[in-house]
Amino acid sequence: MDFPKLKIGHMAPSVPIMQGGMGVGISLSGLASAVANAGGIGIISGTGIPVEEMVQHIRKARELTQGNGYIGVNVLFAMNDFAEKMKAALDEKVDFIISGAGISRDMYSWGKQAGIPVISIVSSAKLAKISERLGAAAVVVEGYEAGGHLGTDKPLFEILPDIVESVSIPVIAAGGILTGADIAKAFSLGASGVQIGTRFVASDECDAPQSFKEKYVSATEKDTLLVKTTVGLHGRAIANHFTKLITTSDKLRIKKCRDCLKNCSYRFCTLDSLLTSVSGDVENGLVFAGARVSEIKDILPVRTIIENLRMEYNAAAQNLA
């Protein structure tokens, strides 16, 4: 028994797995191209990098995949450079755009004009229906178990069935998807595919530094926590010196404001803290991770991760049958 087929617009990957768009600097051309080459859908995160650098990574991913596979770009509506990044990605003729942290009517019309699918990240049936009505080609449903900023306090498998019922476009399940058994359960609840982020961070090809990956592998169940960032949302991260500071101190000083958000509390700089961790200092910056990061015990090639997921899926799907 093999994976079901996923189709979004012109995209029909051999593996119905989308790699999460993780910023800052976690999923760039290296990880995205590796996932695409293994049959999945790769995503370059445009968050926190200059437009020129994002364009370079799009072109590099195309070189690494030799024009095969599917590569998209994640652009966040909450960022000041959202429109500039989206238009640059469309000009590069990426396979799709995926966006979260808000919904823009413009992004669907821009995508339609360019003939490029736009996918929304949602956490409720209401937002899924709005996205479909505005022109989304698919929705990614992120549950509470996801890493990074969260849009809901409800588990994925609790909200997934309602969202599947509410729209007629493909629904991609995300947040806490770590094993083939999780994929089988998502499909049993009506998902058309899955998005996986955390497991792919602990891969050879991930663009994060080795210290970042090792932080994942060494994390215990007690090491993940929710922190309130300047975006105005809670984000799930791995405990370190920085998370202790922002959860216990009211006298933080902004070392550097990068003026990146449309709305910011200015308590500290979320972007700067992410750049700190991706530079290799994983104690003094934010290290976002999913709720089940403690279950990851090794750093593997992307192709091996996907093959393991395939074998686990086959076993779980047979049991469900």
- Average of pLDDT values for 23-30? 94
Residue 102, pLDDT > 70, answer: no
Structure tokens at 25: 């600097």
The answer to whether the CB of 19 falls within 8 A of the CB of 40 is yes
Q: What is the pLDDT of residue 229?
A: 73
> Prior bond to 24 cis, omega within 30?
yes
The answer to whether the CB of 214 falls within 8 A of the CB of 196 is no
Q: Where in the sequence of the chain do the CATH 3.20.20.70 domains occur?
A: 17-208+297-320
Q: Angle 180-188/302-320 helices, nearest 10 degrees?
A: 50
Give the position of tokens 């994002």.
54
Closest CA to 239 of 293, 194, 188, 176: 293
What 3-state DSSP class applies to 114?
A: helix
- Average of pLDDT values for 75-83? 77
Is the domain spanning 17-208+297-320 CATH 3.40.50.300? The answer is: no
Mean pLDDT of the chain: 91
Q: Strand 41-45 and strand 70-74: pairing?
A: parallel
Residue 202, pLDDT > 90, answer: yes
- Ramachandran region, residue 69 (left: φ > 0; alpha: ψ -120 to 50; beta: rest): left
Closest CA to 44 of 55, 60, 68, 28: 28
What confidence category does residue 268 fall into, taking pLDDT thresholds of 50, 70 and 90?
low
Q: What is the pLDDT of residue 68?
A: 86
Query: What distance in Å separates the CA atoms of residue 253 and residue 302, rounded to the nearest whole number?
Result: 39
Q: What is the pLDDT of residue 55?
A: 97
Structure tokens at 27: 């999923």
- Average of pLDDT values for 100-120? 87
Residue 196, pLDDT > 90, answer: yes
Enter the pTM of the model. Answer: 0.93
